[in-house]
Amino acid sequence: MFDALTDKLQGIFSGLRGRGKLTESDIDTAMRAIRLSLLEADVSLPVVKQLTTAIAARAKGAEVMDSLTPDQQVVKIVSDELTALMGEANVALPLASKPPTIVLMAGLQGSGKTTCSAKLARYFHAQGRAPMLVACDVHRPAAAEQLSVLGGQIGIPVHREEGVRDAVAIARNGIEEARRTGRDLVIVDTAGRLTIDAEMMDELVRIRDAVQPTSVVLVVDAMTGQTAVEVAKAFGEAVDFDGVALTKLDGDARGGAALSVRAVSGRPILFIGTGEKLDALEPFHPDRMASRILGMGDVVSLIERAQATVDVDDAQRLEQKIRGGSLTLEDFLEQMHQVRKMGPMSQVLGMIPGFRTVAKANDLSVDDGQIDRVEAIIKSMTLTERRHPDIINGSRRRRIASGSGTSVQEVNQLLSQFKQMKKLMKQMGRGGLPALLGR
């Protein structure tokens, strides 16, 4: 996410390095470049003006002009202002003092609202809540079926009513069932339309008035850029939503919606969707997002993902093997599976500070396709070969390459890299995952 904007901003900052003192002319030139980069990222024009004016005012002050490291101060100012623009701090979805908490999901058709509803249910279930999903989209064919399938995948009950066309009645009945069965969180999935229209808004308002939700969450497709801002404006006028869930952020290399929606709507971004899987939803933290946009990584989110997905006992066992120098390819495969649970490899590595810069400088690219090939190579080995890779001679390498659909060169490369990694890890004394978990 934000790749295009990140690359442009890093290019601007690199142009400021090594200049010693910065002049007002230097800052004006940088501001013009930042303004153009933001507009190319599909950020709303009023937001671009607001942001660059705030950055320029601070950059021309004493904290930059009198600094011994003015380029670093400019980066800090841009980070601060981006954070302020997106909302300063994380805003949690409020929970009702008396259960159940009722969350009404709104948005256009195609924004990912139904999937986001299931993701939200899974997120709160992992937090110890007992959610229920209510299928109130009576207009889109198979919408209720889709929600039922998603609910089944995550073990969350779904209230649906076959043949009923009254969305308000379904919502009321779903909440009553939640109370009766002791569910403390109800997520109501409503109908969307391809465009904003009076009929959709009227139905949404009637559902809201009937169920009196604790919160109304607007689901917005991040890839729609400026359109996302217009959608937020229209829904804000009609139903007065409480916060935004930005979906498909992983597919948006520009980032305009994330930077514009909060500033234009005045409502906080609550959650962001970072992938297709049902666990790819995370709370929105403006400071962490600003850090990602500036290519500075996001260590806190990386640690949280590791702690949520990695089995600590397995990590500690691997640590002992690494310390003793007895790590095998079988262990390496297991550790790779643990890391992949955290999300797409490029996304995980992108959270490491400086990784983008190093990768770009060395023309490195790590994707899940490469990981799939490594996994195929290891799985084509016998158990003995995985545990004792030193026995893999020429004929074994040819057999492994043939069985994994790769080349002998790729098998050789993996064995060489594993040998180097094993040596390096032994020297470090601690493995990546145990260190990341802080254990």
User: Same fold for the domain at 101-294 and the one at 303-437?
Assistant: no
Segment (H or E) for 272 = strand 269-273
Domain 303-437 falls under CATH 1.20.1050.10: no
- Residue-wise DSSP of 80-145: HHHHHHHTSS--PPP--SSSPEEEEEEE-TTSSHHHHHHHHHHHHHHTT--EEEEE---SSTTHHH
| pTM listed for this prediction | 0.74
Distance (Å, whole) CA 62 – CA 126: 48
Query: How confident is the model over 174-213, as pLDDT tens digits?
Result: 999 999 999 999 999 999 877 777 888 899 999 999 999 9
**pLDDT of 324 over the 70 cut:** no
* Interval 259-292: pLDDT, tens: 888 888 889 999 999 888 898 899 999 988 888 8
Does domain 3-86 bear CATH number 3.60.10.10? no
Fold of 101-294: Rossmann fold (3.40.50)
Domain parsing of the chain, residue ranges: 3-86, 101-294, 303-437
